Amino acid sequence: MKRAAPKAEKAGVILGIESWMNAEDHLKMIEETLANLPYEKFCRDQGVFGDAAEVVDRLQAARDEFGLSQIICWFDQGSMLPRAEVERVMRRFIDEVAPKLA
């Protein structure tokens, strides 16, 4: 994360970690939310997945439709991926997606 932050900042992306809730409560909230959220609805309405071009298109569409000035990205919903994989995906986002959203 430390290596990705300067490049992210240059691209206008803010990387951060939420700390207002302890980890146990946060995971419980995620578990309850996901248990009641149909997969198709999540993918259609909330999740943005795909190659860089698809992600750029979805995020630009959301930005344009809702007049967003910031987008919060959560790269590891449910804390299920190895840290190295999460960091790889974050770096890829910073390199391939963020510059096209600036």
Percent of the chain with pLDDT over 70: 76
Taking the CA atoms of residue 35, residue 15, residue 73 and residue 30 in that order, the dihedral angle to the nearest 10 degrees is 10
Average pLDDT, the chain: 78
Higher pLDDT, 46 or 98: 98
CB atoms within 10 A of CB 97: 21
Percent of the chain with pLDDT over 90: 25
Amino acid present at 3: R
Are the C-beta atoms of 39 and 84 separated by less than 8 Å? no
**pLDDT of amino acid 10:** 55
Task: For Cα atoms 98, 99, 102, give the angle at the middle one, nearest 5 degrees.
Answer: 85
**pLDDT of amino acid 24:** 80
- DSSP annotation of 78 reads T
pLDDT confidence bin for 1, thresholds 50/70/90 = very low
Q: Which of 17-21, 37-41, 63-67 has the lowest mean pLDDT?
A: 17-21
Average pLDDT estimate for 30-40: 76
CB atoms within 10 A of CB 46: 10
Domain boundaries in the chain? 4-101
Are the C-beta atoms of 101 and 60 separated by less than 8 Å? yes
46-81 pLDDT tens trace: 778 889 999 999 899 888 888 888 888 888 877 788
